[in-house]
Structure 1
Amino acid sequence: MTIAYLQLALSMVLTGINVVVGKLLAEALPVPLVVFLRCVLATAVLWPLARRMDGPVAVPRAVLGNLALQALFGTALYNAALLAGLRLTTALEGGLVLATLPAVVAIGGALLLRERLPRRQWAAVVLAGGGMAAITVARAAGGADGSAFGNLLIFCGVLGEAAYMLLARRIAGRVPVITASFWMQAFSALVLAPFALPWAGEVAALAEPRIGGLLVFHAMTASVLSLLFWYAGMKRVPAGMAGVFTVFLPGTAALVAVTLLGEAFTLVHVAGFALMMGSVAVATWPRRGGNA
C-alpha cells in the first residue's frame, strides 16, 4: 500500500508542478499552440503504449462519442482555460482555484446525475467558496499579483474537468484507461488544430532548449505519467481514500510558485489555502459509514 500511496501522491505532485510549467509555457507561446502540441506529443506516446499494454481494442461508436466529449471538456477546454488564465493570474492562485474541483464534481453529480449530496459535501462546497473568496480579497486588497478574470478562466477549466469526470462515469470499465486516454488526446488534437494552425510560425520558439524541454515535460507528465501513476495507485487504494491525495495538487503548485517564481504568499492566501485544503479533505476523505 505504501507504493500505491506514493504513486497517487506523485501523480498529484506532477499535476501541481505543471500549473507552474503551464504558466511559463503560456508566457512564451500562444495558448492554442501549447495545448495542441501537448496533445500531439501525448498521442504519439500513448498510441504504442496502448497497443502494448491494452492490445487491439474495438471501441464502440457510442463510447467514442463519449470520449470525444471528454476530450472537448477535459482536455481542450480545461487546458486552454487553465493556460489562458495563468497568463493573467499567478500560479499560486491558479493552484488554489484548481482545489475547487472535488466540490464542483460533487455539485455536478447531484445536479446532472441525480446523486445524493451528503451534508459533508455541502460543507466542502462552502469551504471551497470561502477559499475562492479569500484569494479574491487578497487580489482586490493589492496583496497579490493575481487577476480576478484569470482566476475565472481557470475556474472555467475546473468546470471542464468536472464535466470530463462526470462523463467518464458513463463509460467506466468499458474501455482500458490507456486506450481511452489515447482517443481523448487524438480527439483533442483534432479539435485544437484549427485554432493552433494560425500560430504555426511560433513553433520556432521551441528551438530554445528551455521552452522545448518545458513542452516535452508538460506533455509527458501531465498527459502520460500522471495518468499512469494515478491509475496504478487506484488499483490498490479505495476511490474515497485516493481522493485525499488531491491535496498534493494545490500544495505543490503553491510551493513551486513561491520558491521558484517568487510569488507572494500573503496571510489571506494562507486563509484561502487552509479553506481549500479543508474543502478537499471534507469532500474526499473516506466515510466510515452512513451518508453524513
Structure 2
Amino acid sequence: MLCFAAVMDFGFPYEAYSIQNDLMQSLYRCFEEGGVGIFESPTGTGKSLSIICATLSWLRDHELKKRAQLEQTVHKDKNDENKADDDDWIGAYRKKLDASKVVDEAAKQLATLDKVAARLKEARTKTSDSRHRKMKRKAPNNDSADRIADEVPPLSDDDPDKDIAPVDYNSDDDAAEKRAQSAKPEEEEKLSCTKIFYCSRTHSQLEQFAQEIQKTKFLPRAVTLGSRQALCVNDAVRRLGSVQLMNERCLEMKEKGASTNKVVVMTGDDDKKKVQRTRGGVCKCEYYRSEAMED
C-alpha cells in the first residue's frame, strides 16, 4: 500500500486544485503498482497537465530508485559471498563468482547511465547556445527557402543531436533497416530506457499535449509521431489527401532525390509554427525527423 504526503511535489506549474491532486496521486499509484487504470475527470480540470506531471514524477522517481538499487548492489557488503562452509570451497567459489557477476553488471549499467546523463547535459547546453545565436541574428521576416534554411544551424560531426535526422534517412529502405537491426544489439540494450507513450485520436491533441509538457519543470525528450498526412510539409503531396497516395508520391520523390534531403531540426514551443512556415514546397521534412527520433 502506497502512502503519500499531504502534498506530494508533482512539479505542477500552478497551484493545483484538490481534484487535480487526487488525479495525479491516483495516476502515480497506478504506475507504481502496475496493472491497468481507467480514470475519468470533468472537462476543464486540466487533465493533460495532470497526466504529464504525474507520469513524469513517477518516471523521475523510478529512475532514481533504479540508480539507488544499482549503487546498493555495487557497494553492498560482500561478506555474503563467503558464507559457505570452509570445506565446501567449490560452493564458496561459485557463490563468489555469481556475486561478482551481479556487481559487475550493476557497475556497467551505472556507467552507462552516467554516460547518457553527460550526453544529455552536453546536448542541452549546445541547444541553449544555438538558441542564443539565433536570437542575436534576428533574421528579417521572410518566408523564402533561403531564409528558413539559415535559421537551422548546421550539425557538426560531434553534435549529439546529429542522430535525430540523418541526411539520407530512408525508413522504407529494407537494406538500411537490416543494417540497423544487425548493428551491435548489445549496445541498443544497454542504452534502452523507460519510455512513455501518450496516444490520442487526433494529431492536434498530441500537439497540444506536447506544448503542455513545456510548461513543466521536467522538459523530457519528447516527439510527436504522426503519418505523412499530419506532418508532410510539401503542398503537392499534401493535396493528394489519401495517406496511401501521399506515401507513394513521397517515396517517388525521395527516389529522385527531391524530397527528404533536408530535415528540420527544431526544439521548443515554436515547432508547429516552423513546420507551417516550411510548407510550400521547401524540402524540410518533419515526418522523417519524427520517425528518426522514434527509432
Q: TM-score range by the shorter chain?
A: under 0.3
- TM-score normalised by structure 2 residue count: 0.25
Q: Which has the higher helix share?
A: 1
Rg larger for: 2
